[in-house]
Amino acid sequence: MTSAGKTITQRQLRVGEMIKQALSMIFIRGEAKLPNLETREITVTEVRMSPDLKTAKAFVLPLGGKDASLTVEKLKEFSFVIRKTLSKKITMKFLPKILFVQDESFDYAEKIEKLIKQTYK
């Protein structure tokens, strides 16, 4: 796997998975109190770490994909609250800045599946 021409290290993958699991537990348990947002319905599909491990890009999707862009905007707005809660869950030298991004991989997979089905009809 490569990211912009650079190989993703084992350490990046390990730290990304650790943050993904911690974020998922924070959302499931409702530990980060975010106004007007039900975090139990948010799925963290992937977390990609920068090479220096100081930035984490978290791909998220609300349950059923409804109001995805609104959910991502709320998460971006209150990322400092989520980061503070995350700091209590994991121990790292530098806690990464979390960038929330809408995961569109399911939409892409569905589009490809439709194309394949059309081809074989």
The whole-model pTM stands at 0.81
What is the pLDDT, as a whole number, of residue 7?
86
HEC assignment per residue over the chain: CEECCEECCHHHHHHHHHHHHHHHHHHHHCCCCCCCCCHHHEEEEEEEECCCCCEEEEEEEEHHHCCHHHHHHHHHHCHHHHHHHHHHHCCCCCCCEEEEEECCHHHHHHHHHHHHHHHCC
Domain locations in the chain?
A: 2-119
One digit per residue, the tens of pLDDT, for the chain of length 121 reads 555 667 889 999 999 999 999 999 999 998 888 888 888 888 899 999 999 999 999 999 888 777 888 888 999 999 999 999 999 989 888 899 999 999 887 677 777 888 788 887 6
Architecture of domain 2-119: 2-Layer Sandwich (3.30)
pLDDT for the residue 70: 87
